[in-house]
Amino acid sequence: MTDEIRRASSNDAAPCAAIVNDWIDAKNWLPRQHSRQAIEEMIRAGIPVREFWVAGDPIQGYLSFSTEVSQIMGLYTARPGNGIGKALMNQVKEGRDWLQLLSHAANTKAHAFYRREGFVEVGRNESGVDGIPEIRMEWYLDG
């Protein structure tokens, strides 16, 4: 399951969107701002313009990365705690010395994962990009 990490294709948008949509539906602190279909369309549009990795067959998780700003734009797994997130994170860290990400402030389980991966909190935005408070975290190779 975690041994297969590959670059995504547009055919991977639907299973990646299903993971995100299930995650949104499970969070009582996160209001749905986009339809399930709109999320799939956003992912499909992001795949060709980002470094986009998927793990598993069938897909169990993905990581979307903007090389322009060295930012993880999304990291989602179907079942957190099974090593897929770490495998995807290792993939994107390879050959890099700095990464950044934004995470909803209420997503404390994700923050614990990111801290284990060497990320540190460097800022907060109480209004967030989507109106939900978020934190900014960074990782340095020699951090």
Indicate if the pLDDT at residue 7 is higher than 50. yes
d(CA 49, CA 65): 9
* pLDDT, position 3: 62
d(Cα 16, Cα 43) in Å, to the nearest integer?
Answer: 8
CATH of the domain at 133: 3.40.630.30
> What does the pLDDT look like over 41-90, one tens digit per residue?
999 999 999 999 999 999 999 999 999 999 999 999 999 999 999 999 99
Q: Is residue 25 classed as helix, strand or coil in its secondary structure? A: helix
Share of the chain above pLDDT 70, in %: 97
This prediction's pTM = 0.92
Q: How many domains does the chain have?
A: 1
Domain housing 112: 5-140
pLDDT interval class at 141 (50, 70, 90): very high
The number of residues making up the chain comes to: 143
* pLDDT at 137 > cutoff 50: yes
If pLDDT is split at 50, 70 and 90, which confidence band does 14 have? Answer: very high
